[in-house]
A and B are shown apart, each in its own frame.
Chain A
Amino acid sequence: MTEFNDKDLAYVTRRYRPDIYDTRRALRRFHAQTDTASHRRWWMTAAAAAASVVLVFAAGYGIRTWVRNAQEPAPVEQPALNPNVAYTHIFIYDNAPLDQVLAELSAYYHCTLKAPATDKRLTATFPDDDIELIVSAIEKALNIEITRE
């Protein structure tokens, strides 16, 4: 910082009085005299207040969304059971849940396969050339009825 010396201190203390050269008071006086800020202040304040309110609401909305997202984790994507079936032309299931099997077959054959909710699991190997055969095989093996749309 800029050092002051005894001469500076003497200069200031000789003139010092507590209530003169008050910057804030002078600025108020200036605004009153030039009529600059006094009549505009209210709407500037209003604009600032409105902006603050908007900001608070935006922040609140952001926090609410964040909390909700934290409470409901996004569903985990299930990995495909046979990702390379387009090349291998064979479906291999080893103790796979039935709904996953049906989902995969539906996607592969562009149709919708549905079965009553069940926790049955399937272990089988199918070639991919005949969907009718696969469906009837699953129906027989697990003793359920599959509808195809």
Chain B
Amino acid sequence: MPIFLHLCLENNVSPLKETAFDNLFRLYYRPLCMYAARYLRDADAVEDIVQGAFVAYWEKTGSGKEPDAPKSYLYRIVHNRCIDALRKGGQDATIDLEHLKEDVPDEETVDCSFIWARLWTAIDRLPTKRREILLLSKRDGLSYAEIAQKMGISENTVHNQLAKALQTLRDGADQVFFKIFLW
């Protein structure tokens, strides 16, 4: 134990702080992605922006000026960088730029981004086939008959699988959220 503490002092790090930061990252990474994905179509750009926001936050904590509200700090940076990205390559915009004039993140979208992140994680954990049926139905708007034909299964199976998938999403979103936070 003393060796451990000594190494901590020598490297000028607090293991607790690092763990806290990792937890912060796990907690906010996907919601921030969901938030940015509202404005940008390109997933790589979204990931870069969110990553950049965390780097900015880390540098700020390193310089001793820790923002007292990490959530609003992170969302503000992501929001501003999204607007910058939209201004640079405006043709890729999925949303009216006029709507985005304000310099503050949209509270409603911030709240929604948490729900979206939970949904995303829950969908990510569905069995592959069930997930595909869900996506075909909800994303592509195919009917049961079309899905059944496409996947070579009966309409009844499609119905059952879809019901099960939705049930999992309803039940599981909460637990999944907990797992993200704790793992």
Contacts and interface: CB of A to CB of B under 8 A. Distances in A.
Given A26-B25, A43-B7, 6 more contacts: A14-B139, A20-B43, A26-B47, A34-B58, A36-B58, A40-B13
A23 interface: yes
Given A17-B43, A23-B25, A27-B25, A36 B123 contact: no
B120 A16 contact: yes
A66 interface: no
B73 interface: no
Interface stretch (B74-82, B83-91, B111-119, B144-152): B111-119
A95 to B, nearest CB: 61
B32 to A, nearest CB: 9
A21 B51 contact: no
A131 B139 CA distance: 105
Interface string B15-46: 10010011001100110011001100001001
A33 B139 contact: no
B43 to A, nearest CB: 4
A30 interface: yes
B15 A8 contact: no
A4 B18 contact: no
A2 B169 CA distance: 12
Contacts of B25: 23, 26-27, 30
B7 A15 contact: no
The main secondary structure of chain B at its interface with chain A is helix
A23 B135 contact: no
A64 interface: no
Nearest to B4: A47
Interface residues of B, number: 44
17 contacts: A3-B170, A9-B119, A15-B37, A20-B43, A21-B47, A23-B29, A26-B25, A26-B47, A27-B22, A27-B26, A30-B51, A30-B55, A36-B18, A36-B58, A37-B18, A47-B7, A51-B4
A30 B50 CA distance: 10
B97 interface: no
Given A20-B43, A21-B33, A36-B58, A51 B18 contact: no
Contacts of B38: 11
A23 B180 contact: yes
Contacts of B21: 36
Contacts of A18: 124
B173 interface: yes
A34 B51 CA distance: 10
A51 B139 CA distance: 50
A2 to B, nearest CB: 6
B116 A11 contact: yes
Contacts of A14: 139
B47 A12 contact: no
B11 interface: yes
Q: 10 tightest CB-CB pairs across the interface, nearest first?
A: A47-B4, A1-B174, A13-B139, A21-B33, A13-B138, A20-B43, A12-B119, A23-B29, A4-B115, A12-B116
A124 to B, nearest CB: 64
A18 B124 CA distance: 7
